[in-house]
Structure 1
Amino acid sequence: MRGIKALRRTLFRPRTPITRRRIMAGILNFTSLPPVSRPLSRPHKAKIPSSSSRVSVIRSSTEVSETSSTPSSSVKEEPQLGFSAITPPPNFKPPEPKRFSVRPDKVTDVVTASLNLLFRFGTGVFVSGYSVSFVPKNEIPSGQYGLEVFGFIAKESSKLGPRPEKPIEIYEFEGCPFCRKVREIVAVLDLDVLYYPCPRNGPNFRPKVGQMGGKQMFPYMVDPNTGVSMYESDDIIKYLAQKYGDGTVPLSLSLGLLTTLTAGFAMIGRMGKGSIYTKSKMPPQPLEVWAYEASPFCKLVREVLVELELPHILHSCGRGSPKRQELYARVGHFQAPYLEDPNTGVKMFESAEIVEYLRTTYAL
């Protein structure tokens, strides 16, 4: 009887809410729910962290539950993560781009990465306001990008909204259907985005989201142009469409649960690729990639960028994007994906070779 009374006093005496939760969690032995089944919090606006605490200075942190709040009193100043010397592989030479070709050992990867075109009805292939006209090849001036079809050139154009001065910042990872929805609106609006990959067990950006927004929940968007930051994929989509488009959300992104389900089905073939952290070197500068969400070749490169937790600026360049002409004028060729690594000076096409380069250069 004395033992029972002592236990009662231990359990029911006044304690802080955090202590009570810990006691009850220990008694009931709760485990966290899978990410898709977790409830989503409402969006909020938050002041952008100062330059001293922004993730441009990358710091290491301890992994915590995806949905657990991080009290401000428990956030400690962490040691700055040291950058390793980054060098390209020995005797590395970028491959010559090969149009419409698949390396034999990558056929299965390309096929499984193409399922998104079926389940997502091609969302992210075309830029907002896309239109095309066909003109004879001899009417197109040299130096102008165009897709040749049976002796004609397809002149593609689009109608874009206001352009952000600074890249939108998005914290996300590949194997998340909610993150995929946001990447699709990025492609539709033809935005440049600074992606901070947050794979499971990633030591840098996943914990940082908990510090900035209070939860490790993804995607998380920061717009340095307006000072707005928010969770919730649907609210991020509406915000981006209103701020950098004509306010219209594409039908394929406005079907609620059906949109999320099909976004999940689109990733079945990849079996969680791009979701789990692979130990890597942290680059001093973000990599730059020309790519777009619906391309299976771009998907394979993005998966590795996320697994290696490599921050990268993605120049979205779906069909109708003016950035296709920009890249064509810059390097004399257009093909996606295209990688520029400012840390090594490497510039290259070809998804299979880009994947090998990233793993050889950055994986530990």
Structure 2
Amino acid sequence: MNRTLDVATSFAATLARLAGGLRSGHLGERPDKLLELYEFEGCPFCRKVREALTILDLEAMIYPCPRGGSRFRAVVKERGGKHQFPFLVDPNTGVSMYESNDIVAYLFRVYGDGKVPLWLGLGPLTNATAMMASAFRPGFGAFARPSRAPEKPLELWSFEASPYCRITREVLSSLEIPYRLHNVAKFSPSRQAFIARSGKMQVPFLHDPNTGVDMFESADIAEYLRRTYEIR
């Protein structure tokens, strides 16, 4: 896709959700162990959970499960009994669960102040705007492409509302590349540590421990991921 159109449609997806996942807040107890989320970009219900993670400034191991994927979808069926996404695993409490509304409520109850933000709690309206956001990026990140599995998971500093981060996450999703998600939205207490790590406040920022690569810029990251992991 033309770069200008790519960025414009990603901005439109952000606007459809009124920039949900732009700021952190409602923070509560911090988990000792990393949350695990099985999901894929383009899924409107997964989008709601990612917004919740951003708002709550929670890190998570992301296991992309695009349609046609073979790497992690079977894990979800084995652990939960069905192919349904999103699927959250919390090793801190032993909870595993489907259903985006239930996951969002759980996250704010356990790791927030117990109150789901209005824009995530409007039921059919929340779902409709999440679906509208997906409609601006039809199929992006939703279907698997042949790829080589990395030996170690990658790391991505991101936040849900960023249109540039979305472009990066879509490529990671389509290539079924697992990664540790570091949320650094506005007002995030994690921002200072990120700036110390990267040298500036700019996202997306990718670290690949398999090659030692650190890089900014969504277009450059997308090209790197395809060149390094996609089987053509």
TM-score, structure 1 as length reference: 0.62
| Corresponding residue of 2:174 | 307
The structure with more helix, counted as a fraction of residues: 2
| Corresponding residue of 1:320 | 187
Counterparts of 1:333 and 1:339 in 2: how far apart (Å)? 13
2:81 corresponds to 1:214 = yes
What are the superposed Cα offsets for residues 125-166 of structure 1, whole Å, 9 maximum, x if unpaired? 01115xxxxxxxxxxxxxxxxxxxxxxxxxxxxxx2111112
When structure 1 is superposed on structure 2, of 354-363 and 205-214 the one drifting more is 205-214
CA contact (8 A) 1:115 1:267 kept: no
2:208 corresponds to 1:363 = no
Greater relative contact order (CA < 8 Å, ≥ 6 in sequence): 2
How far off is 1:345 after superposition? Answer: 0.6
TM-score, structure 2 as length reference: 0.97
| Corresponding residue of 2:42 | 175
| Corresponding residue of 2:116 | 249
When structure 1 is superposed on structure 2, of 322-331 and 207-216 the one drifting more is 322-331
Counterparts of 2:14 and 2:150 in 1: how far apart (Å)? 32
SS of the equivalent of 2:32 reads coil
How far off is 1:119 after superposition? Answer: 1.6
- Max Rg structure: 1
Counterparts of 1:358 and 1:286 in 2: how far apart (Å)? 13
Query: Given residue 303 of structure 1, which amino acid in structure 2 is its aligned partner?
Result: E
How far off is 1:201 after superposition? Answer: 0.9
How far off is 1:107 after superposition? Answer: 1.5
2:103 corresponds to 1:236 = yes
Counterparts of 2:73 and 2:150 in 1: how far apart (Å)? 17
CA contact (8 A) 1:327 1:334 kept: yes
How large is the Cα RMSD of the aligned pairs? 0.9
Counterparts of 1:318 and 1:217 in 2: how far apart (Å)? 28
SS of the equivalent of 2:136 reads helix
What are the superposed Cα offsets for residues 279-303 of structure 1, whole Å, 9 maximum, x if unpaired? 0000111100000110000000000
How far off is 1:331 after superposition? Answer: 2.6
Query: Given residue 11 of structure 2, which amino acid in structure 1 is its aligned partner?
Result: S
What are the superposed Cα offsets for residues 202-239 of structure 1, whole Å, 9 maximum, x if unpaired? 11111111111100000000001111100010000010
What are the superposed Cα offsets for residues 233-287 of structure 1, whole Å, 9 maximum, x if unpaired? 0000010001100001010111111111110101212111000000000011110
Same amino acid, percent of matched pairs: 54
Structure 1 stretches of 4+ with a deviation exceeding 4 A read none
SS of the equivalent of 1:319 reads coil
Counterparts of 2:180 and 2:198 in 1: how far apart (Å)? 18
Counterparts of 1:284 and 1:165 in 2: how far apart (Å)? 24
| Corresponding residue of 1:119 | 16
| Corresponding residue of 2:4 | 107
Written as runs of structure 1 = structure 2, the 5 A alignment for 1:156-171 is 160-171=27-38
Q: Which runs of 5+ in 2 are unaligned?
A: none
Aligned length: 230
